[in-house]
Amino acid sequence: MSQRPQALFAMAAENVPQVFPPEVLARLRTSVDIEPGLVAEDFADPRVLGTLARAEILVTGWGCPRLDETALDAAPRLRAVLHSAGSVKSFATHALRERGIAVSSAAVANALPVAEYTLAMILLAGKDVLAARDRMRTTRASAGWGVIPGIGNYGRRVGVIGASRIGRRVLDLLRPFDLRPVLSDPYVDERRAAALGVPLLPLDELLRTSGIVTVHAPETPETHRMIGRRELALMPDGAVLINTARGALVDHDALVAELRTGRLSAILDVTDPEPLPADSPLYDLPGAFVTPHLAGSQGNELARLGLAVAEEAERLLAGEEPAHAVDWAALEREA
């Protein structure tokens, strides 16, 4: 691509200015000819058909309509799809893959804030910060200074379930700390675990021996409610479960039963169902800390996703391959 190719936004229109603020949009437009006011929320929309027919690149995002045979037939010059979010499962079809169209994702960029949230929660959980705050709210008093046995982040084992992009990033962020991370992932062998710098454990052993367990596996039929009553019972007294992956990976009825005993705690950025119904006990249980699916890119972090797309567009213009091409073979086992 030696000159600026025609491009088209395909996403919920409200997302364009958030993901592509002025400075990011300006950088994108040095590589492609794209109008921020023209957004395909429906590929059959007459207002976008002319540009879609000329488009060599689609810049997609949350709310992108499905790229099925009909949509692709309307875009005969399409060469690349640059996705300004994580998973492409909601819109990518077999037809897209069959036609050999390059597809890139900003999943690596979106993994960073999730990993940062996870790191923060691991450190806070290790110091018992969230439970201490709740106790002070209840008693309206401070216990004063004194050594509290059983807490702290020196040598604490952190079990990471899933060597996904986020799981790997969490492992990277944990390196400067005196924590002892371990990994469980059926798709990772000992050699790969060694390259990641962590011991590889069966899931049951990880659960039995970790004071903090953080879930970063994809949602697939095999992982549905992978953390159930039996698995929770394996976790030691006082352990903390963190879930930023998908709510359905954890059996919430079993989790609520454990939380009611006070034996375990949980930090949940995702739930099942999502959002939680107003009568969910997770709002009130003292061992539950629930946030509204905010670990992923939010606010000014969205610009990082747009920047990832702008950088991919620059590579295409230079005749290079995308740096973050979607791995079709691995897509089914990704979030």
Catalytic residues: 246, 274, 293
Q: Which two tokens stand for residue 317?
A: 């213009």
Per residue, the 3-state secondary structure of 67-98, as one string, reads CCHHHHHCCCCCCEEEECCCCCCCCCCHHHHH
Contact (Cβ atoms closer than 8 angstroms) between residue 32 and residue 4: yes
Greatest pairwise CA separation for the chain in angstroms: 71
Is the alpha carbon torsion for 248, 185, 176, 195 positive or negative?
A: negative
**DSSP character string of 151-170:** --SSS-EEEEE--SHHHHHH
The span from the CA of 218 to the CA of 123, in Å, is 24
Q: Rounded to a whole number, what is the distance in angstroms from the first to the last CA of the chain?
A: 32
> Which has the closest alpha carbon to 70: 95, 100, 102, 39?
95
**DSSP character string of 100-118:** T-EEEE-HHHHHHHHHHHH
At residue 130, the 3 state secondary structure works out as: helix
Amino acid at 292: P
Phi then psi for 322, rounded to 5 degrees? -60, 140
